[in-house]
Amino acid sequence: MSDPSLIARNLETIRTRIATAARNVGRDPEAITLIAVSKTHPKEAVLAAMAAGASVFGENRVQEAASKFPIAGAKLHIIGGLQTNKAEQAVRLADSIDSLDRPRLADAIARAAEAAGRLPELLVQVNIGDEPQKSGIPTAEADAFIRLMRARFGTALQGLMCIPPAEGDPTPFFHKLAAMADTHGLPVRSMGMSGDYESAIAAGATHIRIGTAIFGHRDLPA
Ligand SMILES: *Cc1c(COP(=O)(O)O)cnc(C)c1O
């Protein structure tokens, strides 16, 4: 699905809903960054979203991202689990890597950043529901890991990212991530997707990651 007028309408609807959700809790809608998740969708869909005002995009896979980006005027977040052998390409391509979740990946990113002479912004992904199948640092290890990453990467470490359990109310998990970010004085909380972004905004999300509600359903598993 990359019908430009449908993408534009979807974005308009989402912007309205972001504004309402923010105002309902006394927050400034401008303080919320919409990451348009374009994984599995073609570059034409990205360009259509840009024409409708989107400027920040999220991709799960580095190789797929490299087939569409860089695009002048677009920012790219890598939001999917990152293999260490993809760190070099991710560091060259991304404005932000949002899935930093283990020491070996930190090593690979640090090495790649030195070689490339650039360090993207970084988010630590927390496995906020401690689900065995999910990536992210387990909650019990998160504080120590975040401190280490802060010491290593300084202000490039911007914040935290999570994907709450698919079943049940995500709000307690959103609050938990926001509290963790507060504890560490980190400005960014990336949480909330197509189905739950209004709850995430109410709980303090600064970045929401929306795919399906902008681009439609994905044919391929991602
Ligand atoms: C795919 C994906 C999203 C977007 O999900 P939708 O439900 O399509 O909005 C957000 N975050 C991550 C990490 C994803 O992999």
Q: Enumerate the domain spans of the chain.
A: 4-215
| Distance between Cα 193 and ligand 1 center (Å) | 6
pLDDT, residue 1, reads 55
CA distance 166 to 122: 24
Strands, E assignment, the chain: 33-37, 56-59, 75-78, 96-100, 121-127, 137-138, 157-162, 188-190, 207-210
Each residue's pLDDT, cut to its tens digit, for the chain (222 residues) gives 579 999 999 999 999 999 999 999 999 999 999 999 999 999 999 999 999 999 999 999 999 999 999 999 999 999 999 999 999 999 999 999 999 999 999 999 999 999 999 999 999 999 999 999 999 999 999 999 999 999 999 999 999 999 999 999 999 999 999 999 999 999 999 999 999 999 999 999 999 999 999 999 987 655
Atom of ligand 1 nearest to the CA of 161: 13
For ligand 1, atom 6, name the residue with the nearest CA.
211
| Distance between Cα 190 and ligand 1 center (Å) | 11
Global pTM value? 0.97
The binding-site residues of ligand 1, defined as CB within 6 angstroms of any ligand atom, are 37, 39, 60, 79-80, 163, 193-195, 209-213, 222
| Distance between Cα 12 and ligand 1 center (Å) | 19
| Distance between Cα 80 and ligand 1 center (Å) | 9
Atom of ligand 1 nearest to the CA of 214: 9
CATH of 4-215, one of 1.10.1060.10, 3.20.20.10, 3.40.1670.10, 1.10.510.10: 3.20.20.10
The candidate with the shortest Cα–Cα distance to 9, out of 216, 219, 217, is 216
CA distance 10 to 216: 9
Structural contact between residues 13 and 52, judged by C-beta atoms closer than 8 angstroms: no
Select from 79, 133, 196, 219 the residue to mutate for testing ligand 1; criterion: most ligand atoms less than 8 Å from CB: 79
pLDDT, residue 2, reads 73
Structural contact between residues 25 and 208, judged by C-beta atoms closer than 8 angstroms: no
What single string gives the DSSP state of each residue in 110-148?
HHHHHHHT---EEEEEEETT--TTS-SEEHHHHHHHHHH
Select from 10, 13, 37, 177 the residue to mutate for testing ligand 1; criterion: most ligand atoms less than 8 Å from CB: 37
